[in-house]
């Protein structure tokens, strides 16, 4: 458990750095944030209140489908927010479109590593990720998370939220990237057990040892 907690916190910090890179590029954020921004503009509520209401709604739906929140749900919110508050003011805020595009690509990769790392320890997730996980196994995470991000992006845009090239890239690529990276970051204790070999003709188990 201590190793999983350490990975949880570190991964959330990495996630926060990824978000900071996207915000510093000023070319759009992720689809979920676009939804929150759009709702903030449409309702006149504070961003914090909108984030709380939407988050509770998504967690409730996921819980009803058997996916409960955990300590990771709290750690993700606190650690990511704290990291952004510290890291974002230190970012270079480049004017060059090429450098800003580089920040988007780097931010997308760092964001995917952070999300994959904290989901891999299976200690609970943020509202968007928990809602996407609740569709498994019927709909794999890579597709449910993509659908959630794209839907959130479209809804947020219709409500007045800003959509940029980074928003589209994150919405379309974050799900597949996280699904590809997560197995590499999953602790050995949480990996699926190897299926036992079938018994050989003499009744003893066969081995899969490679020939010398």
Nearest to 41 by CA among 163, 171, 169, 170: 163
115-140 residue pLDDT tens: 999 999 999 888 889 999 998 888 99
Q: What average pLDDT score do residues 71-93 get? A: 88
Q: pTM of the entire structure?
A: 0.81
Confidence check: pLDDT of 80 > 90: no
pLDDT tens-digit series, residues 6-27: 999 999 999 999 999 998 999 9
pLDDT tens, residue by residue, 140-155: 999 999 999 999 999 9
Q: Residue 193's pLDDT is what?
A: 62
* 199: β partners: 205
pLDDT digits (tens, 9 = 90+) for 43-77: 999 888 888 899 899 999 899 988 888 898 888 88
CA–CA dist 72, 119 (Å, integer):
8
What pLDDT score does 192 carry? 73
DSSP state letters, 51-83: HHHHHHHHHHHHHHTT----HHHHHHHHHHHHH
pLDDT tops 60 at residue 168:
yes
Is 169's pLDDT higher than 90?
yes
pLDDT band of residue 175 (cuts 50, 70, 90) is very high
Q: Sketch the domain layout of the chain as residue ranges.
A: 7-190
Q: pLDDT confidence of 196, banded at 50, 70, 90?
A: very low
Orientation angle between helical segments 97-120 and 165-185, nearest 10 degrees = 40
Mean confidence (pLDDT) of the chain: 87
User: What was the pLDDT predicted at 199?
Assistant: 53
Q: Is the pLDDT of residue 206 over 50?
A: no
């Amino acid at each position: 458990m201590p190793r999983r907690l350490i990975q949880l916190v570190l991964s959330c910090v990495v996630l926060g750095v990824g978000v900071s890179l996207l915000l510093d590029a000023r070319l759009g954020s992720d689809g979920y944030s676009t939804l929150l921004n759009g709702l903030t503009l449409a309702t006149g509520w504070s961003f914090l209140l909108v984030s709380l209401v939407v988050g509770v709604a998504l967690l409730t739906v996921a819980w009803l489908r058997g996916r409960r929140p955990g300590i990771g749900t709290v750690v993700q919110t606190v650690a990511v927010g704290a990291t952004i508050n510290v890291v974002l003011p230190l970012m270079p805020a480049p004017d060059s479109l090429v450098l800003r595009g580089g920040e988007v690509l780097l931010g997308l990769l760092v964001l995917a590593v952070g999300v994959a790392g904290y989901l891999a320890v299976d200690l609970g997730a943020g509202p968007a990720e928990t809602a996407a996980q609740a569709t498994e196994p019927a709909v794999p995470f890579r597709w449910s998370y993509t659908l959630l991000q794209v839907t959130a992006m479209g809804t947020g845009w219709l409500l007045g939220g800003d959509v940029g090239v980074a928003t589209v890239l994150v919405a379309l690529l974050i799900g597949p990237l996280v699904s590809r990276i997560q197995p590499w970051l999953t602790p050995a204790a949480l990996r699926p057990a190897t299926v036992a070999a079938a018994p050989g003709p003499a009744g003893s188990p066969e081995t899969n040892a490679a020939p010398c």
